[in-house]
Chains A and B, each alone.
Chain A
């Protein structure tokens, strides 16, 4: 059986860096976190319109019940992740950095599941359309971090035919191991979910990409799959897990500038998303929890935790032994692309793959110097851009010239800033330039 399968060819993408892997929690099995007392479910946890609440203060909710409905086509519903009483819909700190509306539920400790949650009668006879409907109602979004509503990704327009589905198990960010543990502990969910996604898209070619530092996961997945879903190991090369780079490395297709994977006939989904799809279809379970890696030198006991959506960060940290005394920086996500937080009351949302706590030495602030024109940033950019040019033009406030250097194609992976010997905040310049260019376009349009 093994010998008959031919080895899948992989390709190289340009640029990229090799930060230390720091997978401190790779061998730690996922633990279930004790239920929080209160959860704060933001109405906006995904790309697209915020969800619209359907509950009010005083309402009693059960685990898995819808608390807010989708606010449009590119939107998803949000569900209660514990049972209890709604204490209100308030403006609450959100990981993006400002207060946003959130549904607050006070737990009754029972964690009673909503009776309406039942698996569909015959899973194998479900059509692609029905699968997409289940995914939408389950509130599933891309769990790799981008949080794009999955059912929308599975509904490309007719003029963009899809022939390949890629399941993303690369997890190229240092420190994060949530996807690794999922693939090890529930490979059947990942493969099962992949099959359901393939059906929803109507494709036959499915491959799961995993970096070579997770060969045990590759084995686990290979054992759970048949010939329909290929499991392909990739070189450990950041950002292997970025959509466009993964597509280039697996099927050697280049997504055009300003385009999307569907332009080259591919759809990419994270392994966590695939597993959530499996749960939704097989058990009728909506997205109410996810695996979060709590790691870094700033936490006493690093862990992989299964956390209910809406749990405040402070409680997550408490269940990992609390903060180390010299902790300096708290990042949601990985060290390359994560967002630093200043308020530990922010809740875990659907896209929170990890909490990284760094100490003074790990989060050292380096003073930026002048650009040497060394070209490191150009060499490592996986999108083939010239960060030194648009960063300098942005610094001088010349945003039109910065736009000419394709800053709009920047995926903000952080490779350039990582390699810059002058410690110039190149990614911040890219984000700043993008925001200003959008701003000016909007002002010009009136």
Chain B
């Protein structure tokens, strides 16, 4: 919003140009989102609690000194509101990169919210939206996104980039196929949404790695969207993709603000609303700059979480045995006795390192 305002003002020569720069807007979006979250956070938490949107435990038992039962759920709504608000304020809303990001945010927030709501209403973690429905929603959005990206008429990406794959350490386009790309995009979106969902099992476990992934995506967006930098670092230039960095910054700000409340012992959980929201936007952003491989690398924690569950269920249980003590991976360590906060911080460390490695690959092309 302010972007458009300052565009208008600078044309009449009245406003400083700094607000039109990407980096400034990104940083300001971050701060805005963070402060907004801090302001809005506590009242929303109280409201969620009062309305009965609270978590429950699978096992039978009363409120238990050891349990987290009763903590407000659907806290993702806090992030949704503040990040979107900040994005509206500081993004170029006409950018065709920003529109799919907003679409992803709203789409996944709605369905994530419905899933949470049903679970709470029936007081049963199995009675949220069924797996089939969840998958269909993700596939649908993935399909729509694929259509958007691959269709030269509306896609913001130049066609060679849209159809091609890029991977770290290699410059240029590796691969060129519309069909494969479409399937790959659908896969990434589905993977994204689920991965963050699985990781959201302990206080702060999904929040911080998401932040790191968004930072990496933001940096890559900025570079790719900047013709000088892109050329210098041997990336294919995609005009306008820098806006993604502003949007990401808003989400990061919201996530950091959420962390303020969510870190152990958590006062609010993000729920499926939050995890699908973050995952959906992450995946979409990665697709929009066609850096999915980097995204997977930076989000190694999510890969671990999803893979561990997959292995345990589809290889282990099919053979009537456990392979890990528990799945997803964080439960495995918890079963071995490691304290929750230790697991979470160690996963944060891994995230950070993977983010750094992803950024290093910029130089190694």
Whether chains A and B associate is: no
B residues near A (Cβ < 8 Å) are: none
A residues near B (Cβ < 8 Å) are: none
